[in-house]
Structure 1
């Protein structure tokens, strides 16, 4: 039964990783591609690692560390990539209604402080 649960978790993680790849191909601009890739790969990686924990219980401390690093690095790198893309004026899809960073200056933080 434990192997079945581990296999189902790994399979569902693979489905999320596949959807991330599909999102990279189908999304209209780089900002939505970054979001699709980050959210789906984070969940997919976590599901695969949890599935591996069912197969190898002795690896749980190391796998928990892997999950921690995935949760810390994927969103931060996604945010840095999207901010850099916005600063070099990467075009958005015409369907984008609001540009939340339009009022943000070239330097400073999100509140516009220098």
Structure 2
């Protein structure tokens, strides 16, 4: 009984993670500029991958009855590197003066970096 519940939760996590990853891929294709695309990749793709790996982790607990530490390390690695990579991509694009979309109204970073050299 408990095995069925754990496997069902794992299946729900895998389906939810794949849907969020698909939405992140659509966001990468449809959004206007590098800043919006990096935001979609950093947030949605990280959440989707973490949900997928969490579902696999729970499946192994429910089906085989053991904890796979490699999956836990993978979840932690994605949690740290996904948003960090998107932040660095946005910072590099800003330092190279990559133009934003035409609908962007204001630049909050310019005021913060007025007297600093990057």
Normalising by structure 1, report the TM-score: 0.86
Q: CA deviation at 1:60?
A: 3.6
Show the counterpart of 1:14.
18
Show the counterpart of 1:61.
69
Distance 2:52 2:31 in 1: 24
Distance 2:8 2:68 in 1: 18
Residues 66-112 of structure 1, C-alpha deviation per residue, up to 9 Å, x if partnerless?
1111111111111110000011111101211221222315624xxxx
Normalising by structure 2, report the TM-score: 0.84
User: Which gives a bigger RCO, structure 1 or 2 (Cα 8 Å, sep 6+)?
Assistant: 2
What pairs up with 1:32-111 in 2 under 5 angstroms?
32-57=36-61, 58-103=66-111, 104-105=113-114, 107-108=117-118
For structure 1, which segment, 99-108 or 67-76, has the greater mean C-alpha deviation from structure 2 after superposition? Answer: 99-108
Structure 2 gap ranges (5+): none
Structure 1 gap ranges (5+): 109-114
Distance 2:76 2:9 in 1: 22
Distance 2:117 2:85 in 1: 19
Count, aligned residues: 108
Give the alignment's Cα RMSD to 1 decimal: 1.5
Higher helix share goes to which structure? 2
Instruction: Give structure 1 regions of 4+ aligned residues with deviation exceeding 6 angstroms.
Output: none
